[in-house]
Chain A
Amino acid sequence: MSAFRVALRRLLGLALGGLVAVSVSPVDAQQRPYSAAEVKAAFLYRFGTYVEWPQPAAASDPIRIAVLGAPNVAMQLATYLPGRSIQGRPVQVRPIERIDDVGDAEVLFIGEDRSSTLTELIAALGKRPTLVVTDAVDGLKHGAMVNFQIVDQRVRFEISLRKAQDAGLMLSSVLLSAAIRVETSSCSRDCHGPLAPPQFALFWPFEPLEA
């Protein structure tokens, strides 16, 4: 236990030391931002760490991320994923050209250039337990569960909890808390996520909390 901890510390120390060595100064680091594809690839992998699929699979079965119509993201994933795992399972990326090639992949990313036929594509998937991530203006309205958006020049995302639940997926509250907007099944009106001001704001004596 302690030996493991010591080893971990040493590893992290080396990693941080490496980071410090690479990034000479914070100013330098800020002038060299990650590309949108890099961020999206990392996000896709991280989404997987906060999702529970209905059928438990064997630990050796890989988690597959299918990428439709976004070759740069698929390429970033291919460099990003090796050596990483989700819930102890290896992670693979599968670039596909047609929606029929999804198979039983756990995550499907539909790129921006397929936004025009988004509704059809998602409808074709049916009720299979696949986390559908889109990169469109109204991704959620077309039936996506997670949709990327650019806010203040940063990659953000919104979530439709209802769709995920319909497909039998369980999303972690951590993931929900990071979203800029969450659509829930019980949310009849315009919902603004878990940090929305309380409905009884009439009696709230303080300034509304910042979202």
Chain B
Amino acid sequence: MIIVLATSFVALSVATALMLVYEISYYRNFLLADATTQADLLARMNIPALQFDDPQAAATNLDLLNSRPSIRTAAIYSPNGSLFATFPRVDTATFPPLGPPGVQIQGRTLRMFQPIVKNDELLGAVYLESSYDLADRIRDYVLLLGGVMLGGMLVAGFVAVWLAGSVTRPVTAITEVAHAVIKRRDFTLRAARTTEDEVGVLVEAFNTMLGEVDERASALEASNNALQLETTERREAEAALRVADQRKDEFLATLAHELRNPLAPMVNAISLLQATNTDTSIAREAQGIIGRQLKQMVRLVDDLLDISRITSGKLTVRGQTVELAPIVKDAADTARPLYDARKQTLEIELPSQPIYVRADAVRLAQVFANLLNNAAKFSEHGARVTLSARVVGPALRVEVRDGGIGISAHVLPRIFEMFAQGDGSLERHQSGLGIGLALAKRLVELQEGTLTASSAGTGEGSVFTVTLPLVAALASERVEEPPSPQQLRPRHRILLVDDNVDFATTLAMLLERLGHEVRVAHDAQQALASTDAVVPEFAFLDLGLPGMNGFELARELRAKPNTARTVLIALSGWGQARDRERSREAGFALHLVKPIELGGIEAALGALAQQR
């Protein structure tokens, strides 16, 4: 406001001063020129009157000055100084004596003499007296300019007020909003847009900027949170990895221990068997020791393989309707030696009527055996373990209860974790690998059941509960009976191809003891050569043969006329659907997954012989 007014005032003052100076100069010159012109005109006009001595004509000429009110008096002088004619004609006016030519300014009066000359002859002179109103003129002008200036200042003031309304107010509003945003950290605040002009655009831009800042701030916060979360997760993952690493080390130590443990009695037993003078009862005892220890090792390795399959997602279970009782019996039989060794009692309580569940019989038996073994291991000698089953709602609940060392509260949540161990106070050799419970839980879950553990505390014993879905309609489903090993065994010509010489040789010996005619080959060439002499009915082919692999060998056998009808069975470490598909395409009738036991081969032979 003040700036506007001051600027206007200075500008107007400068303009006024310049105009005043110019006006004074101009008006002064104008007055002089006017007087001079007037005198000149009068001089020329009165030449004839003077030449021919006609004061009347001169007076008439001077009368024309009536139209010039600024000229007060005028006169024509004769050369000898006498008055020739005057204006006004009346003698009220007084005239000065003839003076030298030129202009004289006295106060507000301008006086001038102008000689009248014609043909170099001095005829007389003109005298003019006019008002020299320069001061009045200046005064008027100053008044006028002052008025203009005042008006200009007023207009400028109004303009300033108006500008303050349309510019300063929105800008002040923006400033207030900016302060509020800074103070309250609230980016949703907006300045009100009141006009459509540039200031309005400014407000709009400011609001847009606020929105942008808001978005950026939110995005930054979100990413910050995400980063924090990620960091936390990574820390946890790192900690978990460290724990897992530690457990792996412990596991490896335990594994070595567990694998080493059965070897000592086995070596002793073999030494006894090798001694020539060992009597029959001792030899039988030694064989029993070897068989038991070996079985424990096989179980250990089987568990490891299962865990490996589970963690790599390769373990599959078959959901079939099976009866519970035989499975429990199977598991009890498996665990029996341990109970006998520790003089513990295993009580089994089953409902009187048969119970059917949807499960994989072998895997379910494995789970129960595992739980029973566990219970025996963590109970005192001579203790009692109970396995009870009952139907609860739509589910079967199987509980394995022991009065053993129990599980402390802080271990309980981690009891099913891989490689989890109880307290270090436990005897190491009885703690096992720490994979049994984890494997059992996964197997149960694969069969759509649950496995939970509970314990009142250390020394209070523990309860493991398996819950499985019951099969609703029992009558309509055919219960699959596990194949009986005591079936009729026909004799077959068998070709067994595996580069593992020990495996192939021992399996061949077992098959031969069952009455089959077995030929063994360790690579494809041997296998093809042997078929020239004897054409096999069945050929067991290891897929991972050196040189020509099992698939290629299968194609060769299919191509040879004499072996075209031979039934091919694949032996593989891989049992995924994709692997099975691939072997079927290669011409195999069956795909067996290692480890392969005699029973599996017998069953396959029985099934395929019927198909032939």
Question: Are A12 and B99 also in contact (CB < 8 A) when A25-B81, A26-B82, A174-B48 are?
Answer: no
- Pairwise interchain contact A16-B57, C-beta atoms closer than 8 A: no
Q: Is the CB of A178 within 8 A of B82?
A: no
Asked if B81 and A13 make an inter-chain contact with CB atoms under 8 angstroms apart, the answer reads: no
Q: A17-B100, A26-B81, A26-B97 are in contact. Are A12 and B48 (CB under 8 A)?
A: no
Known: A16-B98, A17-B100, A210-B60. A177 touches B48 (CB 8 A): yes
CB <8 Å contact, A19 and B122: yes
Given A175-B48, A178-B54, A210-B60, A16-B82 contact (CB < 8 Å): no
Can you list, as one digit per residue, whether each of A74-95 has a CB less than 8 Å from chain B (1) or not (0)? 0000000000111000000000
Q: Does B125 contact A (CB under 8 A)?
A: yes
Chain B residues positioned under 8 Å from A23 (CB to CB)? 80-82, 98
Indicate if the CB atoms of B82 and A20 lie closer than 8 Å: no
- Indicate if B291 sits at the interface (CB-CB under 8 A): no
CB distance from A16 to the nearest CB of B (A): 6
Asked whether any CB of chain A lies closer than 8 Å to the CB of B221, the reply is no
Contact of A43 with B by CB under 8 A: yes
The stretch among B113-121, B377-385, B392-400, B570-578 that forms the contact with chain A is: B113-121
B325 near A: Cβ within 8 Å?
no
Interface centre among A46, A86, A156 (most CB of B within 10 A): A46
Q: Which residues, 18 to 55 on A, are CB-close (under 8 Å) to B?
A: 19-20, 22-23, 25-26, 29-30, 32, 39, 42-43, 46, 49
Which residues of A have CB within 8 Å of B48?
174-175, 177-178
A15 to B120, CA, bound (A): 11
Complex Cα distance, B53 from A178, in Å, reads 9
Q: Tell me which of A8, A9, A20 contacts B97 (CB under 8 A).
A: A20
Distance of A43 Cα from B53 Cα, bound (Å): 9
Contacts of A157 in B (CB 8 A): 52
Q: How many Å lie between the Cα of A156 and that of B80 in the bound state?
A: 20
**Is B462's beta carbon under 8 Å from chain A?**
no
Q: Which of B51, B52, B98 has the most CB of A within 10 A?
A: B52
Q: What residues of A have a CB within 8 angstroms of the CB of B53 in the complex?
A: 39, 154-155
In the complex, B457 has a CB within 8 A of chain A:
no
Within 8 A of B (CB), among A151-173: 154-157
- Residues 115-135 of B, flagged 1 when their CB comes within 8 A of A and 0 if not, give 101111110010000000000
Residues on the B chain within 8 Å of A20, using CB: 81, 97-100
B78 contacts chain A at the CB level, 8 A cutoff: yes
* Chain A residues, CB < 8 A from B99: 20
Mask, A128-165, CB within 8 Å of B = 1, is: 00000000000000000000000000111100000000
Instruction: Answer whether residue B283 sits at the interface, using C-beta atoms and an 8 A cutoff.
Output: no
Are the CB atoms of A29 and B78 closer together than 8 Å?
A: yes
B83: CB under 8 A from chain A?
A: yes
Across-interface contacts of A178 in B (CB, < 8 A)? 48-49, 51-52, 54, 57
The minimal Cβ–Cβ distance linking A19 to chain B, given in whole angstroms, is: 5
A156 to B11, CA, bound (A): 67
B51: A residues at CB distance < 8 A:
42, 46, 178
Say whether, besides A29-B80, A178-B51, A84 and B98 are in contact (CB < 8 Å). no
How many A residues touch the partner, as a band? Answer: 20 to 34
CB within 8 Å of B: which of A63-117?
84-86
- A190 to B80: give the CA distance in the assembly, Å: 38
CB of A41, distance to nearest CB on chain B (Å): 13
Report B-chain residues with C-beta under 8 Å of the C-beta of A49.
118-119
A109 to chain B, nearest CB (A): 15
CA–CA, A9 to B118, complex, Å?
A: 14
- The answer to whether A16 and B100 have CB atoms under 8 Å apart is yes
Q: Which residues of A contact B151 (CB under 8 A)?
A: none
Q: In the complex, A25→B80 CA distance in Å?
A: 9
The interface residues of chain A lying within 8 Å CB-to-CB of B119 are: 49, 84-86
CA gap between A23 and B82 in the complex, in Å:
8
Task: State A177–B52 Cα separation when bound (angstroms).
Answer: 10
Residues of A within 8 A of B52 (CB): 43, 46, 156-157, 178
| In the assembled complex, B265 has its CB within 8 A of some CB on chain A | no
B101 close to A19 (CB less than 8 A): no
Shortest distance from the beta carbon of A104 to any chain B beta carbon, whole Å: 23
- State the Cβ distance, B53 to closest chain A Cβ, in Å: 6
Of residues 82 through 96 on chain B, the ones whose CB sits less than 8 Å from some CB of chain A are 82-83
Docked CA distance A9–B113 (Å): 12
* Complex CA distance for A154 and B84, rounded to whole angstroms: 13
**Which of A16, A42, A86 has the most chain B CB within a 10 Å cutoff?**
A16
Q: Which A residues are CB-close (under 8 A) to B79?
A: 19
Contacts of B78 in A (CB 8 A): 29
Structural contact, A12 and B122, CB atoms closer than 8 A? yes
Query: How far is A16 from B100 in the complex, measured between Cα atoms in Å?
Result: 7
Q: Which residue of A lies closest to B117 (CB)?
A: A12
Complex contact A19–B98 (CB within 8 A): yes
Q: How far is A22 from B79 in the complex, measured between Cα atoms in Å? A: 10
- Chain B residues with Cβ below 8 Å from A26 are 77, 81-83, 97
Q: How far is the CA of A204 from the CA of B99 in the complex (A)?
A: 43
Residue contact A22 to B122, C-beta cutoff 8 Å: no
Contact residues of B between 523 and 564, Cβ < 8 Å to A? none
> Do A16 and B115 touch across chains, with their CB atoms under 8 A apart?
yes
- A23 and B77 CA atoms in complex are apart in Å by 12
A22-B113 Cα distance, complex, nearest whole Å:
18
A8 CA / B117 CA spacing, docked (Å): 10
Indicate if the CB atoms of B100 and A25 lie closer than 8 Å: no
**A127 to B78, alpha carbons, bound, how many Å?**
39
Contact present for B100 and A19 (CB under 8 Å)? no
Task: Report A33 CB to chain B, min CB distance, Å.
Answer: 10
Do B100 and A13 touch (CB < 8 A)?
Answer: yes
Determine whether the beta carbon of A16 is less than 8 Å from that of B121: no
Contacting residues, chain A, for B60 (C-beta < 8 A): 210
Residues of chain B lying within 8 A (CB to CB) of residue A19: 79-81, 98, 122
Q: How far is the CA of A109 from the CA of B98 in the complex (A)?
A: 35
B51 (CB) vs chain A CBs: closest residue = A46
A157 and B53 CA atoms in complex are apart in Å by 11
B122 touches A13 (CB 8 A): no
B82 touches A15 (CB 8 A): no
A155 to B52, CA, bound (A): 8
- Residues in chain A near residue B77, CB distance under 8 A: 26
Most A C-beta atoms less than 10 A away, residue of B54, B57, B118: B54
Contact partners of A46 in chain B: CB under 8 A:
51-52
Extra contacts, 10 of them, besides A25-B97, A26-B83 (Cβ < 8 A), are: A16-B115, A19-B80, A19-B81, A20-B98, A26-B82, A30-B82, A32-B80, A46-B52, A175-B48, A177-B57
23 pairs, CB–CB < 8 Å, chain A vs chain B: A9-B101, A12-B101, A12-B122, A13-B101, A15-B122, A16-B113, A16-B122, A19-B98, A20-B99, A23-B98, A26-B82, A26-B83, A26-B97, A29-B78, A29-B82, A46-B52, A49-B118, A84-B120, A155-B53, A178-B48, A178-B49, A178-B57, A210-B60
- Going nearest first, the 3 A-B pairs with the smallest beta carbon separation are A23-B81, A29-B82, A178-B52
Residues in chain B within 8 A of chain A (CB atoms): 47-49, 51-54, 57, 60, 77-83, 97-101, 113, 115, 117-122, 125
Residues in A lying within 8 Å of B, measured CB to CB: 8-9, 12-13, 15-17, 19-20, 22-23, 25-26, 29-30, 32, 39, 42-43, 46, 49, 84-86, 154-157, 174-175, 177-178, 210
